[in-house]
């Protein structure tokens, strides 16, 4: 069998795409390998969200050139969001690239591109509508416990910082029958957790005929699953976080008590310039609605510091928002100007050292809040799905996640991936918990 080394950068959508790439290429006789040295084909599934993600890809590509000199049979390809954005320009810069293919729906064409060489049209032409989910490839999944299920692709919002609309294209939803068939298959195979994926997952269904919505899909999946598995979803846009969705999370047994709700900034002035289409007050009202319906809901978020024009007062408003919401966890990023996006051309860019200072203050505050929250959970009993058995390096006998998506380590009980146990929380830290079987 030929050997494929697949290297994935970026978000969960990219991880899910990589499983599809592996699935498509398995049908072409490729098996996965861990090392680049014995690979016949190396594919980088790339990310374009921040400059750092791109730099990593470029430096890795440089090292692969040497491998190719040693082994001229080796093929090297670039997939995903950087490939989509840069297109065939990449071949000018890296002439030894054998393949360039965009993310999502372009995956099913990889075998054809591999055979066709460089003359093929490698990406959809700019005005050509991106293919819908007509060729939803069968993924080769990494886990036997947790599965990604892509339900929509692309994004119709035009946040001024974000490159995603230019890499993953406009919003397209996958037909519900297709999604339910995939879920049925996962249930039959014994999967314990399904994460529904989309760039704005809760905008699902708007462009389908007949029109449907995300809460309807959740209800349909929950009734298939009969409450036996866990359902998660990411990422949600606050604008589409409607009362019927809150009700669905509250009432459906399989839907976990965790919502990732990117806020990006705490100041209305910055939110306006980001074109997030909600105010701080509207966002906080959604959080209140969620907590009223599901008092113990866990909340996480994404934040950007140093967006163009972000002044000291704006940043302080991000800190007070953190204190008001008290997130269980968050991802914070320094603003990174992206090609094609409006904010990259704004004249009032924030200095790098100011961004660094702000992100450090923010992360420190978050660590303190999370530690206080987690200390408040000591002694509680929570349902844990085990994801990993004994790992001597980490000094744990098992690791899993609570329904609230908190990481929990065991040190006594030997457990296996896929086990569901009741655990009592015995120790609390900012980023994880420790526990033992209740």
Footprint on this chain of ligand 5AD (rule: CB under 6 A): 49-50, 161-162, 262, 264, 302, 304, 333, 335-336, 338
Closest distance of CB 28 from ligand 5AD, Å = 32
Whole-number minimum distance, CB 310 to ligand 5AD, in Å? 12
CB-nearer residue toward ligand 5AD: 264 or 402: 264
Q: How far is the CB of 4 from ligand 5AD (least distance, A)?
A: 27
Whole-number minimum distance, CB 334 to ligand 5AD, in Å?
A: 6
Max Cα separation, the chain? 63
The DSSP code sequence of 12-47 is HHHHHHHHHHHHHHHTTTEEE-S-STT-SEEEEEE-
Residue (41 or 164) nearer to ligand 5AD, CB:
164
Compare residues 329 and 336 and give the one whose CB is closer to ligand 5AD.
336
Phi, psi of 85 (to 5 degrees): -70, -45
Closer by beta carbon to ligand 5AD, 57 or else 99:
57
Tokens of 309: 């024009």
Between 150 and 336, CB nearer to ligand 5AD: 336
Rounded Cα distance, 389 and 396, in Å? 8
In the complex, least distance from residue 15 CB atom to ligand 5AD, rounded to whole angstroms: 13
Residue nearest to ligand 5AD (CB): 302
Q: What is the dihedral of CA 407, 412, 418, 420, to 10 degrees?
A: -80
Tokens encoding 306: 């140093």
Structure tokens at 214: 């995300």
Q: Which 3-state string (H, E, C) describes 293-362?
A: HCCCCEEEEEEEECCCCCCHHHHHHHHHHHHHHCCCEEEEEECCCCCCCHHHHCCCCCCHHHHHHHHHHH
Q: Which is nearer to ligand 5AD, 145 or 299 (CB)?
A: 299
Helix (H, G, I), strand (E, B) or coil at 368: helix
419's tokens: 């086990």
Q: Which is nearer to ligand 5AD, 161 or 191 (CB)?
A: 161
Residue 143: half-sphere exposure toward Cβ, Cα within 13 Å? 20
**At closest approach, how far in Å is the CB of 14 from ligand 5AD?**
11
Kindly state the smallest distance separating residue 16's Cβ from ligand 5AD, in Å.
Answer: 15
């Amino acid at each position: 069998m030929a050997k494929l080394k697949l290297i994935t950068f970026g978000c969960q959508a990219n991880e899910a795409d990589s499983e599809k790439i592996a699935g498509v290429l398995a049908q072409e006789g490729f098996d996965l390998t861990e090392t680049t040295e014995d690979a016949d084909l190396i594919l980088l599934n790339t990310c374009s969200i921040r400059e750092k993600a791109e730099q990593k890809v470029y430096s890795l590509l440089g090292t692969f050139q040497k491998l190719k000199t040693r082994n001229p049979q080796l093929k090297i390809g670039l997939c995903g969001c950087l490939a989509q954005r840069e297109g065939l320009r990449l071949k000018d810069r890296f002439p030894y690239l054998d393949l360039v293919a965009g993310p999502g729906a372009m995956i099913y064409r990889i075998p054809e591109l591999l055979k066709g060489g460089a003359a093929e049209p490698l990406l959809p032409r700019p005005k050509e509508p991106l293919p819908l989910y007509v060729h939803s490839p069968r993924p080769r999944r990494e886990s036997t416990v947790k599965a990604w299920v892509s339900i929509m692709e692309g994004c119709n919002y035009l946040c001024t910082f974000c490159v995603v609309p230019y890499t993953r294209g406009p919003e397209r939803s996958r037909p519900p029958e297709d999604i339910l068939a995939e879920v049925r298959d996962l249930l039959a195979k014994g999967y314990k957790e399904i994460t529904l994926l989309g760039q704005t997952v809760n905008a699902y269904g708007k462009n389908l005929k007949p029109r449907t919505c995300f809460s309807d899909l959740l209800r349909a999946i929950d009734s298939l699953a009969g409450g036996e598995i866990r359902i998660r979803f990411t990422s949600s846009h606050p604008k589409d976080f409607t009362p019927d969705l809150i009700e669905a999370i509250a009432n459906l047994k399989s839907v976990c008590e965790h919502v990732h709700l990117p806020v990006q900034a705490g100041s209305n002035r910055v939110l306006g310039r980001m074109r997030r289409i909600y105010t701080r007050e509207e966002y906080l009202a959604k959080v209140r609605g969620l907590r009223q319906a599901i008092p113990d809901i866990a909340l996480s978020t994404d934040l950007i510091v140093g967006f163009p024009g972000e002044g000291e007062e704006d940043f302080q408003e991000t800190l007070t928002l953190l204190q008001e919401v008290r997130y269980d966890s968050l991802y914070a990023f320094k603003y990174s100007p992206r090609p094609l996006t409006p904010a990259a051309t704004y004249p009032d860019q924030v200095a790098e050292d100011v961004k660094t200072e702000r992100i450090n203050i923010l992360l420190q505050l978050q660590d303190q809040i999370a530690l206080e929250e987690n200390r408040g959970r000591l002694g509680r009993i929570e349902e844990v799905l085990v994801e990993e058995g004994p790992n001597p390096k980490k000094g744990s006998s098992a690791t899993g996640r609570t329904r609230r998506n908190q990481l929990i380590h065991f040190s006594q009980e030997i457990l296996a991936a896929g086990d569901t146990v009741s655990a009592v929380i015995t120790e609390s830290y900012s980023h994880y918990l420790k526990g033992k079987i209740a």
